[in-house]
Amino acid sequence: MNLVVATRNAGKLEEFKTLASGLKINILSLPKEIGDLPEETGNTFEENAIIKAKFAWKLTGKLSIGDDSGLEVDFLDGEPGIFSARYSTGATDASNIKKLLGKLKGVPNIKRTARFKCCLAAHDGNQTFLSIGTLDGIISEKRKGVKGFGYDPIFYIPELDKNLAELEKEEKNSISHRSKAFFSLLDEMKL
Residues with catalytic function: 68
Continuous H helices in 21-106: 45-60, 93-103
| Type of residue numbered 51 | I
d(CA 110, CA 33): 47
* Burial tier of 104 (Cβ tally within 10 Å: 0-12, 13-18, 19+): buried
| Distances in whole angstroms, Cα of residue 56 to Cα of each of 1, 38, 153 | 16, 10, 30
* Cα distances (Å, whole numbers) of residue 114 to 74, 77, 100, 151: 6, 10, 12, 11
Biggest CA–CA distance in the chain, Å, is 50
Give the bridge partners for 29, in sequence order.
5
**Cβ neighbours of residue 55 closer than 8 Å, sequence gap 6 or more:** 6, 37, 38, 64, 66
